[in-house]
Structure 1
Amino acid sequence: MWKRRSVLATGAALSMGTGLASVGAGAAEADVDALPDPTLDPNPELDEDWASYRGDAGHARFVRDGYEFDGESLEAAWTVDHTGSVAVADDTVYTTTADGVVALDAADGTLVWGNADIDAGDPAVAGEMVYLNGGDIVALDREDGSVRWESDLDPGERTSSHTVAYDGVFVVVDGILYALEADDGSVRWQKDTAVVESRNGDERESEFTPGTAAMNGVVYAETQDGVLAFDPATGDTIWQTWHWTGGDAIYATETAVIAELPGEELPFHDAQTGSGLGLVRPYSVGTLGNESVLSAHDYGYGSTSIHGDEYDWELDVTYTYGQAVISGETVYVYFWVDAHNYGDRNYDQKLVALDKRDGSEKWTLSKDDAPVGHIRAISDKTIYVDHDGELVALREETDTDDQPDESDESDENDDTDGGNDEGDGSDEQDGSDDEGGSDEGNEQQDGEDDSDTGEDDSDDGGSGSDDSGSSDDGESVDADDGDVGNGNAGNGDDGNETDTGNETDTENNSDADNVPGFTAGAGLLGGALGLEWLRRKASVDEPSE
C-alpha cells in the first residue's frame, strides 16, 4: 500500500531549555523542555471541532471525536451564498461572501454581522478574534466584525494560508516565515531562510514555501529543501528533515506531518521526530488523522496507515477524487470524477461515508437527491458543504412528533384534531428546494473553495498545486477541495477569493418575501451588506447554469 519504510530525516535536533512561557494557556504548567509534546494543545481555550479553516491548527481535516451521521436523514437546515472556507466556534459560522466576511448563527444561518471592507479569507478563531488573510493578516472582533489589527508585512504576493496557535499567527510571506503576536500583530520573530542538512551531510539554505501548521507544541513549515519543526515562542529549530523539493502546503496531527510536494509519491513524517514513515499517492492529499493518511491516484482512492497496516485500504475507482474529513470512526468525502474517466462512476457527485478502518461503505447521498457538495466543515451535528456556490448546513431531520404543538395547548381535550398536522413541519427549513437537482459541470468546480494556499485549500488539491494563495477552506479559492483531477492539483479548500460560484445563487430569487441567499427561518441581513444583497439579486433574471 504505497509504503516504503525508510528514514528520510537526518535526526531530531531538539532545542533544550527554550521553554514556552508565552505560548498558550496552560503551557507554563507543562514540561516543554522536550518538544514536540502532543499534550500541548495549540489553542487550549477552544473546545471546537472546526475552529479554523480545514479543522484546527493542524489543517488536517480531522475531527477526533466527531458525531456519527445517518446519511438517510440528512437534510438542509439552511443555505447562504458564500465564496470561501469555513470556521465554526461558539455556535457561530465564519465565512466569506461576495460582499465580504460574515458571521452567521449556526442554528439558522441568520446574519450576526458582516464586514464588507475586508477582502480576506481562511477564517481561524482564537480568543476574542477571528483571523483571516488576503495579503496582510487581519484580525476581526468576533462580536461585531470590526478590525482589531492588521499586519504590515507588505506582501508582494498574496500570503500563504496562516496558522493561529500558541498565542501567535504563523504565516509565510514572500518566502519569509513570520510569527506574529495574536493580540496585536507585532512580529514575535521571523526567519528569512532555513538551513537543512541533506542525507550526505551537505547543508542547504533556502526560503520558505507556502503553508504552516501547528501541533504538538511546535510550528511546522517547509523550505525548498526540507520540512522543519520550530519552537513557536523563539523560532528555534526543533527538528528538520531533508526532501527533494518544496511544496505548497503542510498538515499535521499528533502523530504525523505531510507536505504537498510535486511528484508521484509524497512522504509523510513522524510528527515527533521527523522520521520518514511512508509514502502516499499525490492526489486528494491533505486529510490525515492520528492513524492514517488519505490520498488518491488515477486508479484508486484509499487510506495508508501511519503505523502498521490496520488502516490500509483502497477503493477500486478510476479518476475519482475528493477532499475527505476523518471524523470519529468515519471518513466523509464528496467524490467527483474527472472528465476523462472511463471506469466506475458509482461515486461521481456523491457524499459518501466510509469506515475509516477498512473503507467499507456506510452510506451515500447523491447530488441528484440532496444539496450535497464538497465538505467545508464538520462541527457538532452539522456537515457544512459547498453546493453550487451556496454554503449548506446539513443536519439529521428532527422528529417533529416529539415537539409540543403550541396550537393545541389551549385545547387539551381535542384528541380528534386529525387535520392539525397540516402545516406542521412547514418550518423544517429544509432548504433543499433552494438547491435544485444535480448540477452538471460541478465536477469542474474548484473543490471547496478553500483555496487554501493552493494547498489546502488544495483541500482537495493534490500536491503539485501551484496556487500559493490563501487557503480553505475560503480561503481564497479554498483549495480545500481543490479538485485535483488527474494529476492537476486543484486549488483546493481552503481557495478563497476565486470561488466564483457564489454569485449565482438564484434558487431563492422567486421568493420576494425571503432574505436573499437564506432559506425559511433565516433572519434579515443588516446594513449595507443586506442592501447590496438585494441589489445584486434583483439584477439576476435567470439561474446561471
Structure 2
Amino acid sequence: MTESSRRAFLAVCGATAFTGCASLGSQSLSTQSDSADWPLFAHDSKNTGYNSHASGPKSSPTERWRVRTHDLREEFRGYALTPSPAIIGDRVYVGGETFSAHDLSDGSVVWESVGEDAYYGTGFADETLFVATWDKSSETSSISAFDTDGNRKWKQKTGSRRGLAPTIGGSTVYAPSDPKLVALDRQNGNRQWETKTVQPYPTQPSVADAVYIPTGWDGCIARSRKQDPLASVLSHPPKKQWTHDPDGIIRTPPAVGSRYVYAAMSGEWHPDVNPKQPRLFALTSGGKVAWSRPAGTISTTPVVGDGVVFEKTGVFVEKVREAGYVRGRFDAKITAHDAEDGEVRWQRTVDGFGSWHIQPVLADKVLYVPLHEEIGRESRLLALDAKTGETLWNHMLDAPTTHLAVAESTLYVTSYDGILHAFE
C-alpha cells in the first residue's frame, strides 16, 4: 500500500469509528421485485422478468398506440443497443435519439431531453431515472441521472463504446460497459469500482444478496455487495465469493429466484465450433450446482416466477447459404422447469423462430415470448399459458422485438425498427 493510500484508509476508518469500519460500503438489499411498475431492464435487479402485479393481454392484442424513438442507424445496430423502457406510474420513459417521457394513455410526449447522440436502456429508483448514453464526439458511453421532470442530476462516463441499461441495487448503479462492469454511487455518480467481464459484449449483472456477473468463457462470478474499507479507498471491486465455470459460455444475465441462481450456458453461434451441450444451471448461494438440465444452442436469461423457471433457447438446425453469407437456422424452444428440482413441466418448439435471443416476460400466468425467423425475416409475439404452455395468441410484428415490459394491463414492446408499441 502506498503512503497516500494508507493515509486515506486511516482517514476512512476514523470517519466511521462510531459505526465501525466494516460498515463502509454496506447497502440496502432492495431489489424492486415487488414493484407494480417496470423499473428495470428485466423488471427487477434479480432479472426475473416477472411482474406479479400486472395482467397483460390474454387474447389477441390491440395496439393502443405507437411512437417512434429513433431511426435505424449505426448507434442502435444490434438488439442490445436498442432502448429499453421503464414504466413508472402514468408514464413510460424511453431512450432513442432523445430521452423522453410519454403519457401511458396515448403515448404523447410529456418531455424530452437532448444532448447526447444516443440514449439507450433506462432504469429507475428513488424518483431518479438512470439512462445509458453515447457521445459520438468522445466515442464513449456514460450513465446520466435525471429526475422525473427531465432535469439532469449528474453524468458519469463509463469509458467504453457500448452501454446497456443499468441495474440499480441499494445505493449502487451497476453499469454494463464494454468490456467491464462499472459501479457508480446512485446519489452523485461517483465511481465506486469496476471489474472486467472478459466477454466481448456487455451484459447486465443480477443483484440480490450478492452481485452475479456473467463473464463469458469464465462462467458466472458472485461478488459481495459490500466493499471493505481498503477496497473502497482503492476503488477495487468487492470480494469474489465464488465462480461457476461450466466449461462453456455464460453470456446472458443470470436470474435469481427465492432459493437458487439460474444461469444459462450457451454454445457458439455455429455449433461446429463448440459441440459441448449447453445447460441451464440452478446454483446455490455458495455456488454449488443444485441441478442442471440440457438447454438449446443459444439461451436467453431465464424467467422466474410462481415456482417455475422458464427458459427460451434457440436450437441450431442447419446452415443456410444466402447471398454469399452462411446463416444458421434456429428453432425456438421454450421450456418450463420446476424451480426446485428442474423437472420439465412442459416444453414447446416453434420451428424456425429461434433467432434473436430476447428474454420473455411473465405476468398473471401468461408468458409473453418474442420470436424471430432470421431467414424469412418474420417476427412474432407469442402468448403462452404459463401453466400448460398452450398458445393464447400469436401476433405478427413488422420488425423483431428487442425488449418487453408489462405493467397494469398493458404489454410494452420495443422493436428493431425504432418503434415503442403499447398493446392491450
Q: What is the TM-score with the length of structure 1 in the denominator?
A: 0.56
Preserved CA contact (<8 Å) 1:105 1:111: yes
User: What secondary structure sits across from 2:350 in the alignment?
Assistant: coil
Query: What is the CA-CA distance between 1:160 and the residue it aligns to?
Result: 5.0
* 1:175 Cα deviation after fit: 3.9
CA shift, 1:166, in A, is 1.4
Aligned to 1:301: 333
Amino acid at match of 1:104: H
Residue in structure 2 matched with residue 190 of structure 1 by the alignment: 194
User: Equivalences for 1:319-334 in 2 at 5 Å?
Assistant: 319-321=352-354, 323=358, 324-334=360-370
1:312 and 2:312 aligned: no
CA distance in 2, matches of 1:94, 1:253: 25
Query: Hey, what does 1:147 align to over in structure 2?
Result: 152
Deviations 1:36-86 (A, max 9, x none): xxxx43247x723411123222334222343153324x3222221024221
After TM superposition, give the deviation of residue 372 of structure 1 in Å.
10
- Which residue in 2 is equivalent to 1:384? 412
* SS of structure 2 residue aligned to 1:52: coil
Tell me if 1:122 matches 2:121.
yes
Identity %: 20
Equivalent residue for 1:53, pick from 29, 41, 44:
41
CA distance in 1, matches of 2:119, 2:342: 41
Answering whether residue 44 of structure 2 is matched by residue 41 of structure 1, we say no
What is the root-mean-square deviation of aligned Cα atoms in Å?
A: 3.2
The correspondence for 2:63, drawn from 58, 62, 76, is 76
- Counterpart secondary structure, 2:184: strand
Counterpart position of 2:303 = 288
Partner of 2:285: 272
Q: Aligned runs of 1:203-352 on 2, under 5 Å?
A: 210-223=202-215, 224-234=217-227, 235-254=238-257, 255-259=260-264, 261-263=266-268, 264-270=277-283, 272-276=285-289, 277-278=291-292, 279-283=294-298, 285-290=300-305, 291-296=308-313, 297=315, 298-305=330-337, 306-308=339-341, 311-321=344-354, 323=358, 324-339=360-375, 349-352=379-382
Structure 2 stretches lacking a partner, 5+ long: 1-20, 71-82, 134-139, 228-237, 269-276, 316-329
Shift of 1:300: 4.9
AA of the residue aligned to 1:145: G
CA distance in structure 1 between the partners assigned to 2:376 and 2:423 by the alignment: 31
**1:122 match: secondary structure:** strand
Bigger Rg over Cα = 1
3-state SS, counterpart of residue 250 of structure 1: coil
Residue deviations 1:448-494 (CA, integer Å, cap 9, x gap): xxxxxxxxxxxxxxxxxxxxxxxxxxxxxxxxxxxxxxxxxxxxxxx
Q: Which residue of 1 aligns with 2:86?
A: 87
1:138 and 1:175, CA in 2 relative to 1: closer, same or farther beyond 3 A? closer
The farther-off stretch of 217-226 and 124-133 is 217-226
Structure 1 Cα separation of the partners of residues 365 and 191 of structure 2: 40
SS in 1 for 2:347: strand
Q: Contact conserved, 1:251 with 1:286, CA < 8 A, in 2? A: yes
Structure 2 CA distance for partners of 1:51 and 1:142, relative to 1, 3 Å:
same
More strand by share: 2
Listed one character per residue, the Cα deviations across residues 95-121 of structure 1 (whole Å, up to 9, x for unaligned) are 1233x1111111221212111213221
1:171 aligns with 2:175: yes
Is the 8 Å Cα contact of residues 62 and 287 (structure 1) preserved in structure 2? Answer: no
Shift of 1:280: 1.6
CA distance in 1, matches of 2:408, 2:106: 14
AA matched with 1:257: Y
2:402/2:413 contact within 8 Å kept: yes
Distance 1:192 1:382 in 2: 37
CA distance in 2, matches of 1:128, 1:65: 20
